[in-house]
Amino acid sequence: MNRRELLQQILGAGGLALAAPLVGACQKKIVSDYKTKIAFVKTNDRAKGVAQAIDLLKLPKFGKKDLFIKPNFNSADETPGSTHLDTLKTLINKLREMESGRLTIGDRSGMGNTADVFENKKIFALGKDANVATLVFDDLKADEWELVKFDGSHWSQGFYVPKPVRAAGGIVQTCCLKTHRYGGHFTLSLKNSVGLAAKRVPGNDHNFMTELHGSEHQRTMIAEINTAYKPDLIVLDGVDAFTTGGPDKGTEVNAGVVLAGTDRVAIDAVGVALLRHFGTTDEVSKGKIFEQAQLARAVELNLGAAAANQIEFVTADADSARFAKEIQKILSE
């Protein structure tokens, strides 16, 4: 199937049902009794960790819904610089066990040519072997991007996301555990969504990534990209992590954990707590976790948990439970 046929299938009947930004759907205030589960698996085995974390969530089957998978392929650097192939393969297998329909992997690389990154990471080969479609956002035409713009946004022209992503039956993302030396401070699930936003749209001279990375509101704008979609599942591979530097290279530690959940804010709050546990940058270390700019803006937009007591850890063994308890304490400080 070529790219045009793929897009036609994805954007078929009902494909424009998600045309409006999801900000309106986010206006309902998070009630005080809101709870979200984060599966917490202490492990150095990515494949087992990803599978176990997803199983712990006990999510409903997908009912043959077509799913879009957003990995972390900002560059082709080794994990945690980018998504590990074992993580992605296991995720694909688990989604199929959960009765997914057609699967598509897509991304836009910020550090290099996306097609080259996909080739170097063997994603095209994986797609062929696993019968998973691949989509390089750099190849999209002007009419295959959708403008997202809303009152209060810090984006001067709004931002654009791929129509195939908005039209998917569900969205799954897998991110890494690391800091970000170019102004994001940390890059977890919220920051992973930047790869969904266009750098340029054909016919529009504006460089949206130059605007983002040159803005004093960068971390706020990162959160705002996340209003464009709601994930069905997030998997964070924290087996290895960057505690300084990032996103491509940095000070690497063996964090030995895999997280899974459906709430990006909760995943990121736990991720920040993990980075603090191992010792990290001043920017990531200071203040209350939910006062970090990415998280604070995401909470304002009602994208997820607003406090540590709204996050419930789910574990399957004593080692994971003990580690989760340590992270829960940091999360609550």
Query: Confidence class of residue 7 from pLDDT cuts 50, 70 and 90?
Result: low
The rounded distance, in Å, linking the Cα atoms of 304 and 311 is 10
Residues 6+ apart with CB under 8 A from 238: 176, 177, 255, 256, 257, 258, 259, 271, 274
SS3 for 30?
A: coil
Q: Indicate the average pLDDT of the chain.
A: 93
pLDDT at 15 over 50: no
pLDDT in tens, 154-177: 999 999 999 999 999 999 999 999
pLDDT in tens, 200-214: 999 999 999 999 999
- Mean per-residue pLDDT, 137-166: 98
Closest CA to 284 of 175, 217, 188: 188
pTM of the model: 0.92
What proportion of the chain, given as a percentage, has pLDDT over 70?
90
**What are the residue boundaries of the structural domains of the chain, listed by start?**
35-332
Q: How many CB atoms lie within 10 A of CB 114?
A: 23
Query: Confidence class of residue 27 from pLDDT cuts 50, 70 and 90?
Result: very low
pLDDT in tens, 89-134: 999 999 999 999 999 999 999 999 999 999 999 999 999 999 999 9
Do 186 and 224 meet the contact criterion of CB atoms below 8 Å apart? no
SS3 for 149?
A: coil
Query: Confidence class of residue 17 from pLDDT cuts 50, 70 and 90?
Result: very low
The rounded distance, in Å, linking the Cα atoms of 75 and 77 is 6
pLDDT at 226 over 70: yes
- Return the higher-pLDDT residue of 50 and 14: 50
- Superfamily of domain covering 35-332: LarA, N-terminal domain (3.40.50.11440)
Burial pattern 203-232, b for ≥16 Cβ within 10 A else e, equals: eeeeebbebbeeeebbbbbbbbbbbbbbbb
The rounded distance, in Å, linking the Cα atoms of 172 and 255 is 23
pLDDT at 28 over 70: no
Query: Confidence class of residue 268 from pLDDT cuts 50, 70 and 90?
Result: very high
